[in-house]
Structure 1
Amino acid sequence: MRQPHKERELTAVSADGTRIHVEVHGEDGRPAVVLAHGWTCSIRFWAAQLADLAADHRVIVYDQRGHGRTAPPAAHSAGYSTDALADDLEAVLAATLEPGERAVLAGHSMGGMTLMAAARRPVFREHAAAVLLCSTGSSRLIPEALVVPMRPGRTRTWISRRILGSRAPLGPVTPLSKRILRYGTMGRGAAADRVAECARIVHACPRPVRVAWAHVLGALDLDAEVRELRVPTAVIAGSDDRLTPPVHGRALAAALPDSAGLTELTGVGHMTPVEAPEAVTGAIRSLVGTYLGEKEDVA
């Protein structure tokens, strides 16, 4: 029988002074896994992975700036950028891993972009043994988005930009808001409880934070950073993802210097760690087994 895993909380301080809420689940000495969540989400997004992996791994999770229990940055313009995301990840790695200790890093959506943005950083290269990119892209997020059911072109791009960067409040979670969330971010077959959980997480994101990051993502260009991601990197994409369609996953797999393969999950939308937790957790376990090696079990 699996024993309850240990949990501790700590604060990592980023380069601009932003205090990052971090949690470490599992026993010391286990293989280390670091999970970075996406836009409008929080540590809670990784609940399925934590429940599984923390039994025999040391799992490090953190709230991106402005999300969950991490406060928004003090300086609006400089505090919202891919460089800031990379700074935060560096702070988390430095606060939780021993010098030279290697880990498998997984990022979903904006979390994957965080890993790309950090690819050149010395701290990232010191600690990253392998990477998993879930439902993410490196550029052209707005032009490639399929949220608006129109042919590609300037009109679709303009409408998509207006929707994704909308300042309208999300309001309470209602049957209508769950249907909208399912359409925009999840596959048609997503279970109702998983839709509801994603809705609770997304609706908890403060509106100013959601809008600020939408502007950053709308101008995203990390193509050069992808080519600097020089550790084995696996990619997962959902076939029904409207926010980062499979075209992004295919482009990433083709551009990566050390691709560990692309997996396209049929019928799955953007929220892959929640919609297909077994596939995502299995991919992380595979990377750990291949690039960190299984450590001896402890009582």
Structure 2
Amino acid sequence: MLHAEVHGPDDAPTVVLSHGWTCSTLFWAPVLRALGPRFRVVLYDQRGHGRSETPRRGGYSATALADDLCAVLQATVRRGTGAVVAGHSMGGMTIMAAADRPEFRERAAAVLLASTGSDRLVPSARVFGGSPGRLVRLRSVFHRLLLTVPLPLGPVTPLTRAGLRYMTMAANSPADMVDLCVRVVHACGSVPRARWGSVLLNLDLRESLRHLDMPSRVLAGTADRLTPPVHAQRLAEALPACEDLVLLPGTGHMTPLEAPDRVCEVLRELVRDHLGAPAGADAATALEEAS
């Protein structure tokens, strides 16, 4: 069973947010606050995360991610009304995996892919080793272990906090956002973390990108060690209807935590440009303010 929640008035423009690996709906709290009450925001926990049910061994795949997103869209977005669908990291991969589904195509008016990639995630990661030409084999082994070893993270300590910040965020990230990141990631169970990591290890969604032909924008931080900007550049080149590639200087992988106002700015622009003028004074005001 999936946990999903809806915030905001029923007649407001709808934004659906899909979180990444080891995260939960709590991850979107800064974006939810920044969007304000004049949008209808749908959040859900990916299976094995947050308050959603943890699947058995066979329940982990890109197909399962697409199934769950489509189920959420069917339950929360009326066919033909449209929504802006945004995904961060594995959430962006979820959108790519669902690109050819009728349930997705009938409800997604535009998409935002944030801090994500379609393939070759391990070879391009830069958590360990700065130069692409050095220690290639050792770096690859480290990144594979990071994704797939089902060891508990243990209690939050200054050392684990510093390590997680180094891997996922920029050095100048606000302390409260680092604390939220640590809280969210440590709450993810070690088994689903490792099993989803194994899915990401060999993920290849390049073929799915040609089906993602609705208006799209790609966003990434230039200091992202997990999905470096090369992924965003590849996505922008491959997407049939990419409108913009937004690079955030000095920002790490956790863009919705590190730059929620900038993420919201892009979401508001997508709402303004592709959802039209919805019914209701609050929604109309939201579109006016986004202009």
Short-chain TM bin: over 0.9
1:202 aligned counterpart, secondary structure: helix
Aligned counterparts of 2:276 and 2:78: Cα–Cα separation in 1:
17
Structure 2 equivalent of residue 240 of structure 1: 223
1:91 aligned counterpart, secondary structure: helix
Aligned counterparts of 1:34 and 1:151: Cα–Cα separation in 2:
36
Per-residue CA shift, 1:140-199, capped at 9, x if unaligned? Answer: 000000011153433321222122322221111111111001110001110111101100
How many residues are aligned here? 279
Q: Which amino acid aligns with 1:253?
A: A
Q: Alignment partner for residue 169 of structure 1, among 148, 152, 162? A: 152
Aligned counterparts of 1:224 and 1:83: Cα–Cα separation in 2:
14
Q: Indicate yes or no: 2:250 matched with 1:267.
A: yes
Q: Indicate yes or no: 2:281 matched with 1:297.
A: yes
Structure 2 equivalent of residue 4 of structure 1: none
Q: Alignment partner for residue 80 of structure 1, among 48, 60, 79? A: 60
1:23 aligned counterpart, secondary structure: strand
Aligned counterparts of 2:261 and 2:97: Cα–Cα separation in 1:
27
Structure 2 equivalent of residue 151 of structure 1: 132
1:40-119 to 2 correspondences below 5 Å: 40-73=22-55, 75-77=56-58, 79-119=59-99
Task: Give the CA deviation at 1:49.
Answer: 1.6
- Structure 1's unaligned 5+ residue stretches are 1-18
Question: Would you say the 8 A contact 1:239–1:245 is kept in 2?
Answer: yes
Aligned counterparts of 2:198 and 2:262: Cα–Cα separation in 1:
31
Task: Give the CA deviation at 1:99.
Answer: 2.4
Question: Would you say the 8 A contact 1:25–1:54 is kept in 2?
Answer: no
Task: Give the CA deviation at 1:294.
Answer: 4.1
Question: Would you say the 8 A contact 2:34–2:261 is kept in 1?
Answer: no
Give the helix-richer structure, 1 or 2: 2
Q: Alignment partner for residue 27 of structure 1, among 1, 4, 9? A: 9
Q: Alignment partner for residue 199 of structure 1, among 177, 182, 194? A: 182
Aligned counterparts of 1:151 and 1:52: Cα–Cα separation in 2:
37
Q: Which amino acid aligns with 2:187?
A: A
Q: Which amino acid aligns with 1:136?
A: T
Q: Which has the higher contact order (CA 8 A, sep 6+)?
A: 2
Q: Which amino acid aligns with 2:5?
A: E
Question: Would you say the 8 A contact 1:22–1:61 is kept in 2?
Answer: yes
Q: Which amino acid aligns with 1:64?
A: Q
Aligned counterparts of 2:62 and 2:237: Cα–Cα separation in 1:
22
With normalisation by structure 2, the TM-score equals 0.93
Per-residue CA shift, 1:254-275, capped at 9, x if unaligned? Answer: 0000001101101100000000
Aligned counterparts of 1:298 and 1:279: Cα–Cα separation in 2:
22
Structure 1 equivalent of residue 260 of structure 2: 277
Q: Which amino acid aligns with 1:38?
A: G
Aligned counterparts of 2:150 and 2:15: Cα–Cα separation in 1:
35
| Larger CA deviation: 164-173 vs 106-115 | 164-173
Task: Give the CA deviation at 1:52.
Answer: 2.8
Question: Would you say the 8 A contact 1:40–1:201 is kept in 2?
Answer: yes
Question: Would you say the 8 A contact 1:288–1:294 is kept in 2?
Answer: no
Per-residue CA shift, 1:103-141, capped at 9, x if unaligned? Answer: 000000000000000000001000010000000000000
2:3 aligned counterpart, secondary structure: strand
Aligned counterparts of 1:206 and 1:167: Cα–Cα separation in 2:
9
**Identity level (%):** 54
Structure 2 equivalent of residue 39 of structure 1: 21
Aligned counterparts of 1:115 and 1:54: Cα–Cα separation in 2:
24
Question: Would you say the 8 A contact 1:56–1:297 is kept in 2?
Answer: no
Structure 2 equivalent of residue 225 of structure 1: 208
Q: Which amino acid aligns with 2:156?
A: V
Q: 1:54 to 1:95 in 2, by over 3 A?
A: farther
Structure 2 equivalent of residue 16 of structure 1: none
